[in-house]
Structure 1
Amino acid sequence: MADLKPNSFKAALRRMEVQHGIWCALRDPLAAEMLATCGYDWMLFDCEHAPNDVASVLSLLQAVAPHPVSPLVRPSHLNAAEIKRLLDIGAQTLLIPYVQTAEEAAEAVAAVTYPPAGIRGVAGLTRATGYGQVAGYHATARDEICLLVQVETEAALARIDAIAAVPGIDGIFVGPADLAASMGLPGQPGAPEVKSAVLSAIKRIRGAGQPPGVLTLDPVFARECIDAGAVFVSCDLDMAAMRKGLTRT
């Protein structure tokens, strides 16, 4: 029999230890494997705005498994069936996009939790269970699952305290791009009023006892976010880094 794999990312968030990551849209396992050697604490495989699905995420998880990096997965939306499948293929940390209310946060918690406390479907011979070899998986799996929710509208930011208070939430991510759009500034995540709203949200999340997260391509602003209390931070995307590195001047 095998032991349940510990989630080092979740443990670091509990310690409020800053974790640096990279956002991944490429679905190539070779690219993911290479990025896993680049020194990041975490990598996020995106199913919301990238052409990933459960099958492609499985290949990405397998590619990075030997390396000391924590894989995060963002499902396409708050969908219990998709969340169940991502957990079964071994994802231990999920970022749920567009969570607007405490009720939706509670739905996300239920989706990653087995009955009777939640609604996650039970299966035995999955990658998550070590194909049936992880002793007591169904009783202990939730201990190592890290559930992050994403607030990305003005309405969601107004409900941060209620969302943060939902039992089972392990962190709250602020999405500057969608927040900018909700503020009437689509395509302007670097606008001063958007940055101000992001920093305010980070402070409120931290004040509520939750680790805040953020994605920004502005390294100066990233430092401001960390100073404000952000714990899991990404300053780059694989596609952006590739374009920047390969563009001829």
Structure 2
Amino acid sequence: MNAFKHLLKTAGSHPPVGTWILSADPLVAEAIGHAGFEWGVLDMEHAPADMMDVVHLLQAVTSTRMVPVVRVPWNDPVTVKRVLDAGATSVMFPFIESADQAQRAVAATRYPPRGVRGVVGMSRASRFGTNLQYLTHADEGLCTIVQIETPDAAERAEAITTVDGVDAVFVGPADLSAAMGHIAHPAHPQVLDLMSRIVQRCKRAGVPVGTVGGTPDAVAQYRAIGFDFVAVGSDLGLMMRGAMNALSALKTQDVDIVHSVTVGTLTGATSHGS
């Protein structure tokens, strides 16, 4: 079974926690994987990752427990073909607006006659030709995740989830809030209400649905809404937050030390003078 689908199936009441890899750096991805995240998105849409970067990222997380999901930059069969040949088994498609677009996404991941994926015998996915059964069984090991990121797509969620081959839905809060006129405010009540309705539609269809929050508190809200899998922040976000918190703490400490020294000096001078 596909590793991501297995993760969702065995999660129970605990939604698997992932994060985003925006750095396109294999060493960072490997470190994040060892931190204990259950899954991670190797991003090609908003990160400077090209095809060789994806190969290196996939290699880097192999030794960790983090299940990789590659987000392609667009619903483009050429890019999807190359990502799959590189060894990706779980693919996320951004900005899916209709059942037709979802069908095209699924087709890009399947070999003919079920789809349009190009065939090659020698690839990293087939272990460089040593897996003789790869071409006949590749479709069985794939996971296709489609993103719902606008109110229009939300209204078509039921049609999207009924497409054969759509294994999970991912709601993008940032784009959804922007499309609703609440850019940079994904926690706006109207956005949360629509996200809740998307969750309900996906659950009626029996399709797992996930999302991402910038902070643990945001993710806790999404868990309460009923999301089946969640991500928190990104490698760069976690790094920057840690760096800024450390710097802020040290700057505050410096002020406290200077204040303490100054007060002590003045107190000592006053006592000596008296």
* TM-score by shorter chain over 0.5: yes
Write out per-residue CA displacement over residues 139-184 of structure 1, whole angstroms, 9 at most, x where no aligned residue: 1111111000000000000000000000000000001110111111
What is the Cα-based RMSD across aligned positions, in Å?
Answer: 1.3
- 1:1-249 paired onto structure 2 within 5 Å: 6-15=1-10, 17=12, 18-247=15-244, 248-249=247-248
Instruction: Give the secondary structure class of the aligned counterpart of 2:34.
Output: coil
Q: Which has the higher contact order (CA 8 A, sep 6+)?
A: 1
- Judge which range, 102-111 or 58-67, deviates more: 58-67
Displacement after TM superposition at 1:8 (Å): 2.1
Q: Percent identity?
A: 37
In structure 2, give the amino acid aligned to 1:61: L
Q: Name whichever structure is richer in helix by fraction.
A: 2
In our comparison, the structure showing a higher alpha carbon Rg is 2
| Cα-to-partner distance string for 1:162-215 (whole Å, 9 max, x where unaligned) | 000000000000011101111111121121211121122112212211000101
CA distance in 1 between partners of 2:186 and 2:60 (Å) = 32
Q: Which runs of 5+ in 2 are unaligned?
A: 249-274
TM-superposed CA distance for 1:98, in Å, is 0.2
C-alpha displacement at 1:27, in angstroms? 1.3
State TM-score, norm by structure 1: 0.94
In 2, Cα distance between the equivalents of 1:243 and 1:224?
Answer: 23
Q: How far apart, in 2, do the equivalents of 1:48 and 1:84 lie?
A: 16
- Compare 15-24 and 208-217 and name the one that shifted more: 15-24
Contact 1:214 1:233 (8 Å CA) reproduced: yes
Number of aligned positions between the proteins? 244
Amino acid at match of 2:80: I
Unaligned runs of 5+ in 1: 1-5
Give the alignment's TM-score, normalised by structure 2.
Answer: 0.86
